[in-house]
Chain A
Amino acid sequence: MDSLTNYLFVSVVLFALGLYGVITRRNGVAVLMGVELILNSANINFLAFARFGGMNMAGHVFALFVIVLAAAEAAVALAIIINIFNNFHTINVDDVSELKQ
């Protein structure tokens, strides 16, 4: 049970779910949540390879960086979404297509 494949399997499932959320969700916040899922699947990959790939603490450090980045990214993305809402009165990403030619 304690093998790399299992961890990677969980990571793939998480990634697929996140991607699905990003692509299908219309709500901006939901899209953001999908992105968080993808990031977390990447974290799992880092840790799994750190544990089974003999990389010692490098994977952990990377995972920590990713978490910090994810927090920052979430803050920035939420700020963008608030701005979108202020300008368009919606957070539906399909309606925000001003730059479309």
Chain B
Amino acid sequence: MITGNIITDFSLLILFLPLVAFTINIFFGKRLPRQGDWVSIGAILITLILSLSMLLNMFMNWDPDFSHEAKFIWMDLGAFKIELGFWVDNITIVMLVVVSLISSMTHIFSLEYLKGDIRYSRYYAYLGLFTFSMNGIVLANNLISLYIFWELVGVSSYLLIAHWFEKPSAAAAGKKAFLTNRVGDIGFFIGIMLMFTAIGSFNIQEVFTGVGQGLIGGTLLTFAGIGLFMGAVGKSSQFPLHIWLPDAMEGPTPVSALMHAATMVAAGVYLTVRLFPLFSPDALLVIAYVGGFTALFAASIAITQNDIKKVLAYSTISQLGYMILAVGVGNYIAAFFHLLTHAMFKACLFYGSGSVIHAMHHSLHALDDHDTDPQDMRNMGGFKSKMPITYLTMIIATLAISGVPFFSGFLSKDAILAGSLGFAQHYPQHFLLPVFGFGAAAITAFYMFRLIFMTFHGEAKMPKVFKGIHESPRVMTFPLMLLSGLSIFIFYTLPYLNPLSDHGWFTELIRAGDSVVPGNPTAHEIGEGVHHAHYTAMALSLLVAGLGIGLSYLMYLKKKLSAEVWANKMGFLYKLSYNKYYFDENYDRFLYQPFLKLSRAVAYVDWDLYDKYFINGFGRVTKWLSFHTGRIDYDGLDQSIVDGIGRTAQGFGKQLKQVQTGRLQNYMLFALVGVIIILVIQTI
């Protein structure tokens, strides 16, 4: 068609169709019928179909080693070239399907959720921009274009978080997300540049080759790896840059589902999965600890949050920590597997929360109540009977995230836990990693069921509001049903049907590659470790999930254990968790305020000292000089010399004109006198 290669053609279309939709909507959206939402939806559905056909193609070929690269030279600077291109393998294809699927669902869900919004067409345009940039990350074959799309994703995230920028909190959240990501991106860029200086290429596969040849090694490779990982820390909201994601929930809920749960935040994980072969053992250890700690730490915050979206936000951070942990312990295929399953059930949970918030919002609106927070779970309760579809789909997704067998989350979580356990068995000094993992698993099960029980079970806390609650319309429940369906294990284990093993198309088609760093364990060794730990991990994870669910059941449904009493008993810990470990406050006190003070001091030096004395001094001296040279020029030169010449000519003229008497005889006399003078002179 366009390039002659069907995979490249499809990739091109998948990449650029959303951009076309963005361009149309941003310029003409308001003038189009229905504000142009059909343009975006059409584009994203075509993208989805193309991605699915690529997936189908992958199944038909059944080739685990499939890899396709297409590139062209963007800049030829003599000494080095910068290329752009696609690197398509099975991981790419699966990721493309995830992005376009969740993105399509978001487009459809937003039809109702954003109905009547003042910036409706712009919202759809930004969704298109995001999908374009995300697909760009997924398809990129080199670090520089990866970085470009990485930043584009950051921009579209900023634009969408701050969609309701009239709310100061939303505008601030957008800014916070952007700036926090910026911190990570600096590391990312340093990492890219370190790689480039050592290897001389941005192309990911050439970088792998270069690392394998030992062009970069030792501490430098570790630093480069950690630099690249910093990008992932920012984008995937890992400790200590996790602070932006909960605030990002200020954006519209479908956006939270698409970007801040399923795809964009997974970009960091995707990056580490893609670049896994080049991480040195030390870098991987850092990655593992960051991931593991984030998983437990974020989960412990999620326990005490009352805002339904905040719970999900911290849950997302925690789950991303899981994936990062899996990459760190070398089981990066499990990380990608969890990315895939997590995208489905977390998007489903977010749509579910969106559905609940939507219902709350409408009910409150009908009551003319604008003070009650429609996202606070303490105002909910008993919604099960009013919103059966939302309830059921959310239950399925919750079971999946808690790691209950027969659901997708069980398979992927199990793989991750087995990986961390296998790693700890091999290196007993890192026993903390599986502790993080299992701890987070227990807490996850607990807080997710807490969310379900508080929202859907028990008595309605606000009966008046409860009366106005209705199930959301079809366009909102359809994505819920589809995604909860995709949280069932069977979609991931086909063609096998064993619910307890992740063995299936995914593990057959997506195989772990060996690390190119000398000294790292091979994929086979890691696989062996995982295999050994598999049954222990499964038993343990079932145990902790059961523990979490059981505790939640006793506390929030049966009320056998009072949550308040427990909270009081562990007052300090409760407060710590409730206030998110005071991270924002401490960042404020120890980072922003000193930084602001420094900025003010610098501004003082710059403005009050440098500008006022030095720069303005220059101005004053120049003014003085100009004044005096002006005086010399005007008063001296102009008045005396330039005007003087004129005056002299005038004076001469005045004198001479007296000769012109007008008397004929005078002239004659002059002529005569002249002749006489000439004659006299001649005779002498």
Contact = CB atoms under 8 A, between A and B. Distances in A.
B665 A23 contact: yes
Contacts of B660: 99-101
Interface string B276-315: 0000000000000000000000000000000000000000
A20 B660 CA distance: 21
Interface string B638-677: 0000000000000000000100111111001100100000
A23 B662 contact: no
B432 to A, nearest CB: 114
A2 interface: no
Nearest to B669: A23
Contacts of A98: 662
B672 A19 contact: yes
Contacts of A96: 662, 664
Interface string B34-65: 00000000000000000000000000000000
A97 B663 contact: yes
Contacts of B664: 31, 93-94, 96
Interface string A67-101: 00000000000000000000000000110111111
Interface residues of A, number: 13
Nearest to B658: A101
A24 interface: yes
A22 interface: yes
Nearest to B663: A94
B668 A23 contact: yes
Contacts of B669: 23
Interface residues of B toward A: which range? 10 to 19
A22 B668 contact: yes
Contacts of A100: 660-662
B526 to A, nearest CB: 114
Nearest to A97: B662
Nearest to A100: B662
A27 B662 CA distance: 15
Nearest to A24: B665
Nearest to B664: A93
A93 to B, nearest CB: 4
A22 B662 CA distance: 15
B660 to A, nearest CB: 5
Most chain A beta carbons < 10 A, residue from B657, B663, B664: B664
Contacts of A101: 657, 660
A93 B672 CA distance: 18
Contacts of A19: 672
Contacts of A31: 664
Contacts of A23: 665, 668-669, 672
A23 B663 CA distance: 10
A98 B664 CA distance: 12
A3 to B, nearest CB: 23
A97 B668 contact: no
Contacts of B657: 101
A54 to B, nearest CB: 25
A31 B661 CA distance: 18
Contacts of A99: 660, 662
Nearest to A94: B663
Nearest to A98: B662
Contacts of B668: 22-23
A39 to B, nearest CB: 15
Interface string A16-31: 0001001110000001
Contacts of B662: 96-100
A19 B662 CA distance: 19
B664 to A, nearest CB: 4
A29 B102 CA distance: 120
Contacts of A94: 663-665
A22 to B, nearest CB: 6
Contacts of B661: 97, 100
A23 B670 CA distance: 10
Contacts of B665: 22-24, 93-94
A97 B666 CA distance: 12
A97 B657 CA distance: 14
Contacts of B663: 93-94, 97
Nearest to B659: A101
A100 B672 CA distance: 20
A70 to B, nearest CB: 18
Given A19-B672, A31-B664, A96-B664, 8 more contacts: A23-B672, A93-B665, A94-B664, A94-B665, A97-B661, A98-B662, A100-B660, A100-B661
28 contacts: A19-B672, A22-B665, A22-B668, A23-B665, A23-B668, A23-B669, A23-B672, A24-B665, A31-B664, A93-B663, A93-B664, A93-B665, A94-B663, A94-B664, A94-B665, A96-B662, A96-B664, A97-B661, A97-B662, A97-B663, A98-B662, A99-B660, A99-B662, A100-B660, A100-B661, A100-B662, A101-B657, A101-B660
Interface of A: 19, 22-24, 31, 93-94, 96-101
* Minimum-distance CB pairs A-B, first 9: A97-B662, A100-B662, A93-B664, A101-B657, A23-B665, A101-B660, A23-B668, A94-B663, A22-B668
